[in-house]
């Protein structure tokens, strides 16, 4: 989903940058308030940030014969709501743009919009819908995280199509989406599974924190165990 | 707390390994010798744009000199993430154990 440095026309860079900026600022504020809540919350924030840092560095092979990487943004969106991921995703993308020549500073706004804003919000929407339908936590986590991953690439395809509508917008979108989408499906499934593992662990270790966020049902008092 | 099924985690891990291994058996081989197997999709799109005559108007400020160094830096990013993730999760687990110890001692007295 990283649009390479210098590959978007200047106006597109500026517009995507302006579109993303308020989300990132709002996200940074949200990180600060949530970190102050309690020590568990701070550790969970660190986990969410570290998760996306780790996941987005791992290039995985796909059945199409090309490789791509997960985004890891769904977990934080479920735990802390999407704004937090706008900030954390931006940190990841800046790191990759500066040190790895992956993505870029001129395309940062566009890449932030797809990976750190659109993906997390789409994943969160799926999460809310499935929870509303009383789906089990694991099922909801799986689809939310896979969606956050896939939608990121759909938005990237759309961004590229808007910049290079050749032959037309829809045709260009189809062209870019075919490069990304098929490769991405197995990776989205893998990301969903990793997410389920993560949330199962969290449900075991910090049930009160997850219950407070409405992720699992309120736990029976810990004292009942003793 | 919820009753957790013991076999779910191992099954999920096995599924991950299968999904990771599958492409090596199923993916189409590169058609020409210059084509790299499992090239990145990001790079594929960049190549597509270049073939259509798009010229990048800005170059990365720093470029890792070779593919080896680049994968090393990606490895570093994953390691940093995994390190912090492990620290946070381990810390959360330790806090739970401590809470339970305190609670059981409290119950005994």
Burial of A4 (0-12, 13-18, 19+ CB in 10 A): buried
- pTM (2 decimals)? 0.92
* B48 within domain boundaries: yes
* A37 within domain boundaries: yes
Which residues in chain A are contacts of B23 at CB distance < 8 A? 61-65, 186
* B13 within domain boundaries: yes
* A165 within domain boundaries: yes
Distance from CA of B86 to the nearest CA of A (A): 8
Which residues in chain B are contacts of A190 at CB distance < 8 A? 16, 19-20
* A224 within domain boundaries: no
Domain that holds residue B93: 8-30+37-56+66-108
* A127 within domain boundaries: yes
Q: How many domains does chain B have?
A: 1
Which residues in chain A are contacts of B78 at CB distance < 8 A? 53-54, 57-58
* B2 within domain boundaries: no
* A79 within domain boundaries: yes
Of the candidates A205, A208, A218, the residue with the CA atom closest to the CA atom of residue B92 = A205
* A48 within domain boundaries: yes
* A226 within domain boundaries: no
Distance from CA of B52 to the nearest CA of A (A): 9
CATH number of residue A27's parent domain? 1.10.1760.20
In a mutagenesis test of the B interface, which of A38, A63, A72, A80 is the best target, namely the one with the most B β-carbons within 10 Å?
A63
A88, A95 contact by CB (below 8 A): no
* B97 within domain boundaries: yes
pLDDT value for B1: 44
**Closest residue in B to A52 (Cα–Cα):** B81
Nearest-CB residue to B46 (from A4, A138, A222): A4
* B61 within domain boundaries: no
Q: How many domains does chain A have?
A: 1
**Integer Cα distance of A56 and A69 in angstroms:** 6
Domain that holds residue A82: 10-215
pLDDT digit string, tens, across residues A129-157: 999 999 999 999 999 999 999 999 999 99
**Residue range A160-165: mean pLDDT, rounded:** 95
pLDDT value for A134: 94
Which residues in chain A are contacts of B90 at CB distance < 8 A? none
* B1 within domain boundaries: no
pLDDT digit string, tens, across residues A105-115: 999 999 999 99
* A28 within domain boundaries: yes
**Integer Cα distance of A37 and A79 in angstroms:** 14
pLDDT digit string, tens, across residues B1-31: 445 578 899 999 999 999 999 998 888 877 7
């Amino acid at each position: 989903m990283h649009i390479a440095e210098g590959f978007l026309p200047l106006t597109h860079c500026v517009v995507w940058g302006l579109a993303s900026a308020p989300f990132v600022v709002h996200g940074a504020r949200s990180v600060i308030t949530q970190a102050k809540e309690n020590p568990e919350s701070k550790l969970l924030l660190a986990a969410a940030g570290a998760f996306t840092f780790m996941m987005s560095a791992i290039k995985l092979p796909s059945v199409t014969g090309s490789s791509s990487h997960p985004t890891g943004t769904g977990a934080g969106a479920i735990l802390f709501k999407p704004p937090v991921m706008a900030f954390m995703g931006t940190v990841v993308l800046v790191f990759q743009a500066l040190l790895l020549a992956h993505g870029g500073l001129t395309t940062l706004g566009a890449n932030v919009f797809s990976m750190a804003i659109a993906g997390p919000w789409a994943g969160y929407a799926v999460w809310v819908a499935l929870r509303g339908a009383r789906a089990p936590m694991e099922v909801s986590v799986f689809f939310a995280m896979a969606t956050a991953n896939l939608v990121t690439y759909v938005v990237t395809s759309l961004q590229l199509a808007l910049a290079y509508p050749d032959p037309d917008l829809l045709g260009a979108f189809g062209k870019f989406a075919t490069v990304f989408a098929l490769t991405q499906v197995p990776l989205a499934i893998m990301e969903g599974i990793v997410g389920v593992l993560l949330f199962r662990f969290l449900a075991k270790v910090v049930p009160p924190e997850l219950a407070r966020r409405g992720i699992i049902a309120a736990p029976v008092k810990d004292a009942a165990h003793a | 707390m919820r009753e957790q099924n013991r076999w779910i985690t191992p099954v999920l891990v096995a599924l991950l390994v299968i999904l990771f291994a599958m492409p090596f058996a199923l993916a189409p081989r590169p058609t020409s010798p210059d084509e790299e197997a499992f090239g990145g999709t990001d790079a594929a799109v960049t190549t597509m744009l270049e073939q259509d005559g798009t010229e990048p108007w800005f170059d990365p400020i720093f470029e890792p000199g070779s593919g080896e160094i680049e994968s090393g830096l990606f490895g570093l990013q994953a390691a940093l993430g995994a390190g912090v993730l492990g620290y946070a999760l381990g810390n959360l687990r330790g806090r739970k154990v401590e809470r339970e110890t305190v609670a059981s001692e409290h119950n005994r007295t």
